[in-house]
Structure 1
Amino acid sequence: MQAIARHSRAAAAFATAAAAAVGSLIAALPAQAQTQSQQQQSTPPAAAHTPSAEWPAPSPWRLYAGAAHIGFSTSAQVRAGGQLVPGADARADANNSLGFGAIYDFHPGWSAEIALGLPPTTALQGTDTLAGAGTLGKVKYGPAVLSVRRHLWEDGPVRPYIGAGINYTLVLESRDGFVSNLDVKNGAGPVLQAGFEVPIDRRWSFFVDAKKIWLKTTATGTLPALGGAPAHAKVRLDPLVVMVGVSYRF
C-alpha cells in the first residue's frame, strides 16, 4: 500500500509539473508570435534583392540612327510664260542619307517619334517633252517627321508597329540647271509608317522602318532658252523613306 501511495504521489507531482509546463508554453506563444511579427516588420523588404532593384526600370526615351533610302514618286505640271507645257513632266533622283531621331513611350503600347536626317540633295530631271532639258535644277532639303506609333506586340522577339503623323520639308538650297533663278518652296504633308524592332539586349534594338509621305511643292524660275520666260511648276514628290538602323534606350 505504501508503494502504491508513493507512485500516486509521484504521478500527481508529474502531472502538476506537466500542467505547469504546458501552461507556461501556451502563455509564451502569443509573445513569441508578437516578437516574430515585429522582426518581420523590421526586416528590410525582399525587393532589395529582386531583379527590378538590381536592374532599374528602363527609361521611356530612345535615340536611334541608321541608313535611309529616299525614293520619289514624282509628277509635275509645268508652265512657261504662263502657258501650260503639254506633256512636260519631271522626276527627282533618289537619295541615300543618314537618318536619326528620338522616341518617347508615353503610354503602354504607344510612343511619339521625331525623325530627322542629314540634308541630302536631289536633282530634278526633265521627262517626256522636257527630256531634252536635262537637269532642271538641284534641291538640298531637310526632312522632318513627327508621328505617333502604335506598337502591336511589345513582348515578342519581333515587335511590329504602325504609325501616322506629319512631315515638314525645309528647302535649304536651290541650284540652277536648265531653269535659272530656281526657287523651290518648303512643303508639308501627311505620313503613314510601319516597321518592326528586334531587341538585341535590354537597351539596344535593331529596326526596319518605312514612311510614306505625301508631299507637294511649287517651283519658280526663268528659262534662258526661251528668252528668260518665267517658269512655274507644281510638283508632287511623294517620297518613300526606308530606314535600317539601331536604337538605344536610356
Structure 2
Amino acid sequence: MKFLLSLFIATALAAGAVSAAHAADTDSWVVRFGAHTINPQSDNGHLAGMKASIDSDTKPTASLEYLFAPSWGVEVLAALPFKHEIKLDGQKVASTKQLPPVLGVNYHFMPDAQVSPFVGAGINYTRFFSTKGEGLLQGAKVKIDNSWGAAAHAGVDVKLSERWLLTADVRWIGIKGDVHVDGANVGTAKVNPWVYGLSFGYRF
C-alpha cells in the first residue's frame, strides 16, 4: 500500500507539472454524473463462525477527471452513501453505510474517437458508518473498521457532441474491514465489490 501511495503522489506531481506546462490548453476536464451499483463478491467471509452475506445497493455518483495528456487522466470518484444489509447464515444481523471514494489514473486508448475505451487503476479508502445491530444483534454495538484497498477500472466513452459524452464503466474495489460486536472482533467482512455504472459527462 505504501508503494501505491508513493506511485500516486508521484503521478499527482507529474500531472501538476504537465498542467503548468499546458496552462493555456482547454477541454482538459471532464465532469460526470450518473449512478453506480455496488455488488459485493458472493463469498463475504465468516463472522463468529457463520457465513456472512452483504447485499448490493445503487446510488448517484459523480467524478472529476483531469486529462494531463491526450490519453492520460487523473480521476476522483465520489458518491452518496451506499447502504448494505449484513446477514449471517441467511439471518439479518446488521446494517451499515459506507463511502468508497476512489483516486485513480485512466488511460484512454483512442481519446479523439467517437467511441473511446479506457482502463485505469487506483486506490480506495472506504469509511463505514451508521453501523447498527439488527435482528439477531438488535441492541448490540456493531462496528466495521475502515478500509484501504486497490481499485481497477475499465469502460468506454461515447461522444454525444463536441462536449457531451456517455460513459459506461465497471470497477473492482478491494474493500474489507474487521467487524466488532460489543468490542469483540468476530472476523473480517470481505466486500470486494464489482461496481457497474452509467453516467453523462461534460468536457470543459
Unaligned runs of 5+ in 2: 1-23
Match of 1:77 in 2: 46
Structure with the larger RCO, 1 or 2 (CA within 8 Å, 6+ apart): 2
| Superposition TM-score, scaled by structure 2 size | 0.82
The alignment partner of 1:169 has SS state of strand
Partners of 1:185 and 1:103 in 2: how far apart? Answer: 29
User: Which of 93, 96, 108 in structure 2 is aligned with 1:136?
Assistant: 93
Cα RMSD for the two superposed structures: 1.7
The number of residue pairs the alignment matches comes to 177
Q: Give ranges in structure 1 of 5+ residues lacking alignment.
A: 1-55, 80-84, 223-228
Match of 2:194 in 1: 240
> Is 2:104 aligned against 1:150?
no
Contact 2:119/2:155 (<8 A) preserved: yes
TM-score normalised to the size of structure 1? 0.67
Query: 2:44, 2:54 within 8 Å by CA — same for their partners in 1?
Result: no
Query: Distance in 1 between the 2:121 and 2:185 partners?
Result: 35
Q: Using the TM superposition, give the Cα deviation of residue 231 of structure 1 relative to its aligned residue in structure 2, in angstroms.
A: 5.4
CA distance in 2, matches of 1:210, 1:242: 5
Query: Which has the larger share of helix?
Result: 1
- The aligned runs of 1:7-46 (5 Å cut-off) are none
Shift of 1:59: 2.5
* Distance in 2, Cα, partners of 1:172 & 1:59: 37
Larger Rg: 1
Counterpart amino acid of 1:200? L
Provide runs of 4+ in structure 1 moved above 4 Å.
none
Calculate percent identity across the aligned residue pairs. Answer: 25
Deviations 1:20-39 (A, max 9, x none): xxxxxxxxxxxxxxxxxxxx
Q: 1: CA distance between counterparts of 2:129 and 2:30?
A: 28
Q: Which residue of 2 aligns with 1:189?
A: 149
Structure that is richer in strand per residue: 2
Distance 2:184 2:77 in 1: 36
Question: Which is further off, 205-214 or 173-182?
Answer: 173-182
Distance 1:107 1:139 in 2: 39
The structural deviation recorded for 1:107 is 1.4
Distance of 1:203 and 1:152 partners within structure 2: 18
Could you tell me how far 1:175 is from its partner in structure 2? 1.4
Where 2:64 maps in the other structure, the secondary structure is strand
